[in-house]
Amino acid sequence: MTRTTTWLYGWLLLLPAAALLALFTHYPAVATLWHSFLSTPKGSRPPVFVGVDNYRQLADDPIFWQSLSNNLWFAAGTIPLSIALALLMAAWVNGKIRGRGALRLAFFTPTVLPMIAVANIWVFFYTPGYGLLEQVLGAFGLPAHNWLGSKSTALLCLMVVTVWKEAGFFMIFYLAALQQMSPQLAEAAAIEGASRTYFFRRVTFPLLMPTTLFVLVNAVINAFRLVDHVIVMTRGGPDNATELLLYYIYEIGFRFWDTAYAASLTMVLLALLGAAALVQFWFLERKVHYQ
């Protein structure tokens, strides 16, 4: 087989995946960028080129800045906690403990539940007066509280639901990585007198850095694409306290039918995710490849 034939054969193998990627990822992104410079068509009036007017409107939109702030706080609260909890659960169920299979199933169960079902379950937990959380707190004599109806706790409640659902999913990747490690490393460390904490900090965690990078990228994406729980649990309230960026885009595009402004908001979201991915790969590349 000649070099040209090998090159052609490789590109033919890549063609189906490349075509799907271009059709469902690259083309929508480019089309969204173009529509962000147009006005929203209404009735028989076609869209016209308005330049950066949509972005000027975005800069003066207080709800956009509120949703962006909420999303950044949401990401800062859910990403580290989800990853840390996933790593802790994976290390626990990777050991030789009784009921390990049942424990793994219990940790992973929230992941397989539909997001709408999860949201409805937690709405019952947070319901003031007779919800499960209220019943538990009431048994200790604590006063009732409207958890989803208070600006001080509504976003925190969404964070708890997200961590509960995502930690089990991330645990699977850490568990797979832990099971691929050679047991001889732990045996050699034990012979040298290294403690479990030292072994985890100096050996296990560095070897988990490729998995951590993968999990971190997914956690960032998930933190900025949450919309199901918001629709079911709070609808962005109270007083925009849980208005996340993707939910705001959903409202603008499908409730108010301002597609051009929604396109500009989408481009901002894509830019944020792209910048976050670049920062993650820039700072973690050396640790992942052990340079």
pLDDT band at 206 (very low <50, low <70, confident <90, very high): confident
- Residue 11: what residue type? W
For the CA atoms of 12, 17, 23, 29, what is the dihedral angle to 10 degrees?
A: -120
Q: Which helix (H) or strand (E) holds 233?
A: helix 228-233
pLDDT at 289: 57
Q: How far apart are CA 244 and CA 119, in angstroms?
A: 16
pLDDT band at 203 (very low <50, low <70, confident <90, very high): confident
Q: Please give the share of the chain, as a percent, with pLDDT higher than 70.
A: 97
What backbone torsions phi and psi does residue 224 show, to the nearest 5 degrees?
-105, 5
For residues 75 and 223, the answer to whether their CB atoms sit within 8 Å is yes
Question: Does the structure show a pLDDT above 60 at 291?
Answer: no
Cα angle value 191/211/220 (rounded, 5°): 140
Residues 181-198 have a mean pLDDT of: 84
Question: Does the structure show a pLDDT above 60 at 12?
Answer: yes
* Span 94-152, pLDDT tens digits: 888 888 889 988 999 999 988 888 899 999 999 988 888 988 888 888 888 899 999 99
pLDDT at 144: 85
Predicted TM-score (pTM) of this structure: 0.90
Question: Does the structure show a pLDDT above 60 at 197?
Answer: yes
Three-state DSSP at 42 gives strand
Structure tokens at 45: 């009036």
Q: How far apart are CA 201 and CA 207, in angstroms?
A: 10
| Domain 62-289, CATH homologous superfamily name and number | MetI-like (1.10.3720.10)
- Which residue is associated with the tokens 């290390």? 91
pLDDT at 6: 87
* C-alpha closest to that of 155 among 238, 263, 58: 238
Mean pLDDT of the chain: 90
Question: Does the structure show a pLDDT above 90 at 61?
Answer: yes
Question: Does the structure show a pLDDT above 70 at 290?
Answer: no
Question: Does the structure show a pLDDT above 80 at 283?
Answer: no
pLDDT at 40: 92
Residues 223-250 have a mean pLDDT of: 93
Question: Does the structure show a pLDDT above 60 at 238?
Answer: yes
More confident residue, 291 or 80: 80
Distances in whole angstroms, Cα of residue 163 to Cα of each of 46, 89, 136, 239, 274: 44, 13, 21, 24, 23
Residues 222-244 have a mean pLDDT of: 92
Question: Does the structure show a pLDDT above 90 at 65?
Answer: yes
More confident residue, 125 or 285: 125
* Span 158-179, pLDDT tens digits: 999 999 999 999 999 999 999 9
pLDDT at 1: 64
